[in-house]
Amino acid sequence: MQDLTHYIDGARVPGNSGRFGDVFNPATGEVQARVPLADAADLDRAVQVAQAAQPAWAAVNPQRRARVMMKFVDLLHRDMDKLAEALSREHGKTLPDAAGDVQRGLEVVEYCIGAPQLLKGEFTDGAGPGIDMYSMRQALGVCAGITPFNFPAMIPMWMFAPAIVCGNAFILKPSERDPSVPLMLAELMEEAGLPTGILQVVNGDKEAVDAILDHPVIQSVGFVGSTPIAEYIYGRGCSNGKRVQCFGGAKNHMIIMPDADMDQAADALIGAGYGAAGERCMAISVAVPVGEETADRLVEKLVPRIDKLKVGPYTAGKDVDYGPVVTAAAKANILKLVESGVEQGAELVVDGRDFNLQGYEDGFFVGPHLFDRVTKDMDIYKQEIFGPVLSVVRAGDYEEALGLAMDHEMGNGTAIFTRDGDAARDFAARVNVGMIGVNVPIPVPLAYHTFGGWKKSVFGDLNQHGPDAFKFYTRTKTVTSRWPSGIKEGGEFNFKPMD
Average model confidence (pLDDT) across the chain: 95
Phi, psi of 179, deg, nearest 5: -90, -5
The answer to whether 138 and 167 have CB atoms below 8 angstroms apart is: yes
pLDDT at residue number 484:
79
Q: How many CA atoms lie within 13 A of 376 on its CB side?
A: 10
The pTM for the full model equals 0.94
Q: How many residues does the chain have?
A: 499
pLDDT at residue number 317:
81
Q: Provide the 3-class DSSP secondary structure of residue 280.
A: coil
pLDDT at residue number 489:
59
pLDDT at residue number 156:
98
pLDDT at residue number 499:
45
Please give the Cα distance from 436 to 453 (Å, whole number).
10
Would you state the CATH architecture of domain 252-438?
3-Layer(aba) Sandwich (3.40)
Residue partners of 101: CB distance under 8 A and separation at least 6: 84, 87, 93, 151, 152, 153, 154
281 labelled catalytic: yes
pLDDT at residue number 359:
94
DSSP state of 445: P
Determine how many CB atoms are found less than 10 A away from the CB of residue 129: 8
Instruction: Give the pLDDT confidence of 351-378 residue by residue, as tens digits.
Output: 999 999 999 999 999 999 999 999 999 9
DSSP state of 446: P
Kindly tell me the sign of the dihedral angle through the C-alpha atoms of 45, 225, 280, 319.
positive
Please give the Cα distance from 173 to 196 (Å, whole number).
17
The answer to whether 414 and 433 have CB atoms below 8 angstroms apart is: yes
Please give the Cα distance from 156 to 170 (Å, whole number).
10
Which one of the listed residues 143, 166, 246, 281 is annotated catalytic? Answer: 281
Phi, psi of 474, deg, nearest 5: -140, 160
pLDDT at residue number 319:
86
All structural domains of the chain with their residue ranges: 2-248+457-479, 252-438
Q: Provide the 3-class DSSP secondary structure of residue 399.
A: helix
Determine how many CB atoms are found less than 10 A away from the CB of residue 264: 14
Determine how many CB atoms are found less than 10 A away from the CB of residue 479: 11
The CA–CA distances, whole Å, from 78 to 152, 194, 314, 405 equal: 18, 18, 21, 42
Q: Per residue of the chain (499 residues), give pLDDT as tens.
A: 899 999 999 999 999 999 999 999 999 999 999 999 999 999 999 999 999 999 999 999 999 999 999 999 999 999 999 999 999 999 999 999 999 999 999 999 999 999 999 999 999 999 988 899 999 999 999 999 999 999 999 999 999 999 999 999 999 999 999 999 999 999 999 999 999 999 999 999 999 999 999 999 999 999 999 999 999 999 999 999 999 999 999 999 999 999 999 999 999 999 999 999 999 999 999 999 999 999 999 999 999 999 999 999 999 987 899 999 999 999 999 999 999 999 999 999 999 999 999 999 999 999 999 999 999 999 999 999 999 999 999 999 999 999 999 999 999 999 999 999 999 999 999 999 999 999 999 999 999 999 999 999 999 999 999 999 999 999 999 999 998 776 665 655 555 554 4
The CA–CA distances, whole Å, from 106 to 70, 157, 252, 302 equal: 10, 7, 25, 33
3-state helix, strand, coil in the chain (%, to 5): 40, 25, 35
Please give the Cα distance from 217 to 476 (Å, whole number).
19
Amino acid at 200: Q
pLDDT at residue number 496:
52
Q: What is the CATH number of domain 2-248+457-479?
A: 3.40.605.10
Instruction: Give the pLDDT confidence of 406-445 residue by residue, as tens digits.
Output: 999 999 999 999 999 999 999 999 999 999 999 999 999 9
The answer to whether 283 and 93 have CB atoms below 8 angstroms apart is: no
Instruction: Give the pLDDT confidence of 63-100 residue by residue, as tens digits.
Output: 999 999 999 999 999 999 999 999 999 999 999 999 99
